[in-house]
Amino acid sequence: MSLDQDIAHIRKEFPILHQKVRGASLVYLDNAATTQKPQAVIASISSYYEQYNANVHRGAHYLANLATDAMEKSRDAIQHFIGATHREEIIFTQGTTDGINLVAHAWAMTHLKIGDEILVALSEHHANIVPWQQVCKKTGAILKVIPLNPDGTWVADWKTYINAQTKLVSVGWVSNATGVVHPIHEMVEQAHNAGAKILVDAAQAVSHFPLQVAQLNCDWLVFSGHKLFGPTGIGVLFGKLDLLNAMEVYRTGGEMIKKVSFEGTTFQEAPLKFEAGTPHIQGIIGLGEAIRWFSNVGWEWIHKIEMQQIEWMKSVTAEVKALHWIGESERKTALYSFWSPQFHHADLGELLDQQGVAIRTGHHCTQPLWDAWNMSGTARASFALYNNEEDTVQLQKSLIKSIQLLIG
């Protein structure tokens, strides 16, 4: 099967793509914000509600056993997908933001002290900045920032930002603002050499290349299901098992306890220790199905599709000279941020929408980056494995038409 045929086959599995938007065929290029869902994921959620809706772990009846089994099979699927050593290292969260906050409250708040340093990069999403600011406010720790080169990569001397005072590094593997892929393997090694822990934000990486956390040797890794063709409101925190069991509890309530009395409470070990209350059962089941679906496509084809999308976009960036394209690094995903000093990016996004092209505009939750670069934000087109050459051609045509309308 050719690459074009393979993408066409994949597109058939996404019902939402086969519609008109404002009279034009939908071109969905906002995948960094959220990916669309294949029919298999949609069906798995419907099946749960139609056939075995019940609460998990606690029930002694048939439906509860089915629901629990489906949920725990998703945990197993995620463990295999990210290469974790133990299934207990997989914690279900509300998403990337929730996972980062869990580590901030359950580890950083109790382990850091005055003068300790937390290291992030200038390109971080707000969700990987604000929790650490709160930790610093409460503990007296200091937030340090790795600057960026003009192409969006970390500065050449980024290793010098790690020192004896560095106790935590928390960095994104792929920038949601530029698409640049950062040298995470080297960062993990440098952090550990300095005696620091490291959290990897893989929200933008999870659908682009294998994570393999045991090989990576990171202490924590987080991602969101909706970036991986799964439901919203569900995510994963991976943590090394001994580290998870040594962390403080984050939320308290049902399911995460061993014994409750008015004299005191004892808690479960991971993963239940961090999964208080009724979980997002249908979301977990949907995420498991998304991972099974995605794994069936295979990393080889996924890589080929993205490399082809990058090649298609080279002609767009070369042809549409009225725009400044950001993040043109050799190591990047098929994500493109662009802007013009002649018009506002929001106006460009609105005109593209009128032609059926869905992109993102704004600061993309990376305001410190744009402030450092004296910009208010960008327009952003981000690809997934169902985007074909026709989508790229339509993007180019719509950009040219919109720019003509904006500047004449």
Alpha-carbon gap, residue 196 to 188, rounded angstroms? 9
Q: What is the DSSP letter of 153?
A: S
Question: What is the residue whose two structure tokens read 């045991």?
Answer: 214
Environment class of residue 191 by beta-carbon count within 10 Å: exposed (0-12), middle (13-18) or buried (19+)?
Answer: buried
Give the phi and the psi of residue 202 in degrees, each rounded to 5. -105, 20
Length of the chain measured in residues: 408
Helix (H) or strand (E) holding 391: helix 389-407
Alpha-carbon gap, residue 185 to 233, rounded angstroms? 28
Under 8 Å between Cβ of 334 and 179 = yes
Quickly list DSSP for 16-69: GGSSEETTEE-EE-BTTT-----HHHHHHHHHHHHH----SSS--SHHHHHHHH
Helix ranges (H only) for 207-362 are 213-216, 241-246, 281-297, 299-319, 345-354
Alpha-carbon gap, residue 243 to 107, rounded angstroms? 9
Question: What is the residue whose two structure tokens read 């790690």?
Answer: 162
Annotation marks residue 365 as catalytic: yes
Alpha-carbon gap, residue 191 to 216, rounded angstroms? 12
Active-site residue, selected from the candidate residues 365, 375, 393, 406: 365
Alpha-carbon gap, residue 236 to 89, rounded angstroms? 10
List the catalytic residues: 365
